[in-house]
């Protein structure tokens, strides 16, 4: 809901406000509230006299207060809770503060802190945010969706909480993830927060600890599965598409057994993508492109070994195959450059326990049970960790990669920080300072033998906000693989030589809004090329995309 831009004289002539928020209702709406920044004239016009302290404080002063209190908080979880309180009160101020301090606040509003917040969500819960649709709403999901107060929703992030980061099944507690991703859509990608909606599908949880917790916020029973689950998802997709036609639906943190098939089922029906599969793939591929600028070796000469054969691992491998196709490598040959290791060992054709998404990478090769032996045999140039288990890249493994390669490429992408396969310090130390390293969650700069290294963070926030910006800005009907390929190329192009010289293979986070604008333009160009855009193509696409980006400024009358 927004307030119409009445001229001051029109407001003075109104005796009552029947359709627009007025008085205390404005202060209770985080999209409209601007706190003590309301001018004296605005307070008169909007019925706010006496409801605020008399002094007028502009936004930059309010931001200073937020920063002061934020930095006084004793730990990251308290900082997270404080920022959520600010967001619940005044979204414009929240986004102004986050954007101006993104390097400091992104690890709080998203990974790694959001993982801890999800684990404790029922214990720190204060105020609802987003929409909860439960298994008890079957047959009436459209009625639940109708309760959302804003009609112009353009981006939805939805989870069923079954595979939250690397933490597993957190059920309805997983709402912290859609909320955090939506915040990044706005802070990083410039999507107006009034047009976004985080959703949790509560179909139960198989986490016995949560089921025994009296403060757990979700349905206290095991997960809905099989045809009943599928019917529930069908009803959900139909309901949101009917209420918000053309809305971009981002599937987030669904378990492997659902993620791949849901993406395959819906991607040609509605405008949708899975960030764990496609967003992770694009940010990883961009990091590989940047790393190869350091090694000087072409993509066609690389051997990729993945620890983890789920959504992220297969998603990255699929995009690498597409990237190799741009160099003329046929898909079957490209797949032979990608090797997967799961919990039972190397994924090979002789195994009879493989899920369908692993089969394209099940090579006709001997079974190797351990990662170390697989590295010794395959001799990969790139080692990518997406297994969700910490400390899997041991000193012996890193040293072996450094023995095989002059500049080993080591990506420890599992989130949150506690689940990273190795730390930046370990990768640099055990490789004698030769590793090209990236992680999913942030690690601080590290000095080794007098040289400063700045580890790259392969965070999906480099990709999905720009994807969303491009798709929403031109009204694209679908999200395609070519869009993610374009995003990966553009992200890698934005890394300059000074970044590479310190080992940084992604652009600095404080410039991520400019990155999102560039990616948004690249994605929009693909939408026009593929005939998927629903608005006429502007003369200057880059300028048009930048004009669509939300800026957190107060929008009143005086």
Question: What's residue 20's pLDDT?
Answer: 75
Contact criterion met (CB below 8 Å) for 107 and 114: no
Of 232, 262, 202, the C-alpha closest to 139 is: 232
Third-level CATH fold of 278-461? Rossmann fold (3.40.50)
Of 366, 373, 357, 384, the C-alpha closest to 303 is: 384
- pLDDT digits 0-9 by tens, 201-259: 999 999 999 999 999 999 999 999 999 999 999 999 999 999 999 999 999 999 999 99
| Residue 116 designated active-site | no
| Residue 181 designated active-site | yes
Of 417, 415, 300, 317, the C-alpha closest to 362 is: 317
- pLDDT digits 0-9 by tens, 408-462: 999 999 999 999 999 999 999 999 999 999 999 899 999 999 999 999 999 999 9
Instruction: Examine domains 78-270 and 278-461 and report if their fold is the same.
Output: yes
The band of 86, judged by pLDDT with boundaries at 50, 70 and 90, is very high
Residue 5 has pLDDT above 50, yes or no: no
The catalytic residue among 79, 80, 95, 110 is 110
- pLDDT digits 0-9 by tens, 28-37: 999 999 999 9
What percent of the chain has a predicted confidence (pLDDT) above 90? 94
Average pLDDT over residues 174-186: 98
Domain 78-270 has CATH 3.40.50.10380: yes
Tell me the domain boundaries of the chain: 78-270, 278-461
Q: Please, where are the H alpha helices in 190-299?
A: 208-211, 226-243, 256-266, 280-295
Residue 88's H or E segment, with its range, is helix 76-89
Residue with structure tokens 């001997």?
A: 366
The catalytic residue among 181, 358, 419, 490 is 181
Cα–Cα distances (Å) from 448 to 97, 250, 442, in that order, read 34, 40, 18
């Amino acid at each position: 809901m927004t307030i119409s831009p009445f001229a001051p004289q029109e407001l003075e002539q109104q005796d009552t406000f029947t359709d627009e928020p007025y008085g205390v209702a404005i202060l209770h709406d985080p999209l409209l509230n601007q706190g003590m920044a309301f001018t004296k004239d605005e307070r008169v016009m909007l019925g706010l006299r006496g409801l605020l302290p008399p002094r007028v404080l502009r936004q930059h002063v309010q931001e200073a207060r937020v920063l002061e209190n934020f930095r006084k908080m004793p730990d990251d979880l308290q900082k997270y809770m404080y920022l959520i309180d600010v967001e619940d009160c005044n979204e414009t101020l929240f986004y102004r503060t986050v954007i101006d301090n993104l390097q400091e606040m992104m690890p709080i509003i998203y990974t790694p802190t959001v993982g801890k917040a999800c684990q404790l969500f029922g214990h720190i819960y204060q105020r609802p945010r987003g929409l909860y649709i439960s298994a008890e709403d079957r047959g009436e999901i459209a009625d639940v969706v109708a309760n959302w107060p804003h009609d112009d929703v353009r981006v939805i992030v939805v989870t069923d909480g079954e595979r939250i980061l690397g933490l597993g099944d957190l059920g309805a507690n997983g709402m912290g993830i859609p909320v955090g991703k939506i915040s990044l859509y706005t802070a990083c990608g410039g999507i107006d927060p009034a047009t976004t909606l985080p959703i949790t599908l509560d179909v139960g949880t198989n986490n016995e600890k949560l089921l025994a917790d009296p403060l757990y916020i979700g349905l206290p029973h095991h997960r809905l599965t099989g045809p009943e689950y599928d019917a529930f998802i069908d009803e959900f997709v139909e309901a949101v598409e009917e209420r918000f036609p053309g809305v971009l639906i981002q599937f987030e943190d669904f378990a492997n057994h659902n993620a791949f098939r849901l993406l395959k089922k819906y991607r040609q029906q509605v405008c949708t993508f899975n960030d764990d599969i496609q967003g992770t793939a694009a940010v990883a591929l961009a990091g590989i492109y940047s790393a190869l600028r350091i090694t000087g070796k072409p993509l066609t000469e690389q051997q990729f070994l993945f620890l983890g054969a789920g959504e992220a691992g297969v998603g990255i491998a699929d995009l690498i195959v597409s990237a190799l196709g741009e160099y003329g490598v046929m898909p079957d040959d490209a797949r032979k450059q990608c090797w997967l290791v799961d919990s039972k060992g190397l994924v090979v054709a002789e195994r009879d326990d493989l899920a369908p998404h692993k089969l394209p990478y099940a090579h006709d090769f001997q079974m190797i049970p351990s990662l170390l032996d697989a590295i010794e045999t395959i001799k990969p140039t790139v080692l990518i960790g997406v297994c969700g288990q910490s400390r899997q890249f041991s000193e012996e493994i890193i040293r072996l990669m450094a023995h095989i390669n002059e500049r080993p490429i080591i990506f420890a992408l599992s989130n949150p920080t506690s689940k990273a396969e190795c730390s930046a310090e370990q990768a640099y130390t055990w490789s004698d300072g030769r590793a090209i390293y990236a992680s999913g969650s942030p690690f601080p700069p590290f000095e080794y033998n007098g040289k400063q290294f700045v580890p790259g963070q392969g965070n999906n926030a480099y990709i999905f906000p720009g994807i969303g910006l491009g798709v929403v800005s031109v009204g694209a009907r679908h999200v395609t693989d070519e869009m993610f390929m374009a995003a990966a190329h553009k992200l890698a192009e934005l890394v300059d030589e000074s970044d590479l010289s310190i080992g940084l293979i992604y652009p600095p986070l404080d410039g991520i809004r400019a990155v999102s604008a560039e990616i948004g333009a690249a994605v929009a160009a693909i939408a026009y090329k593929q005939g998927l855009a629903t608005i006429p193509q502007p003369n200057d696409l880059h300028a048009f995309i930048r004009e669509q980006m939300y800026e957190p400024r107060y929008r009143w009358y005086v």
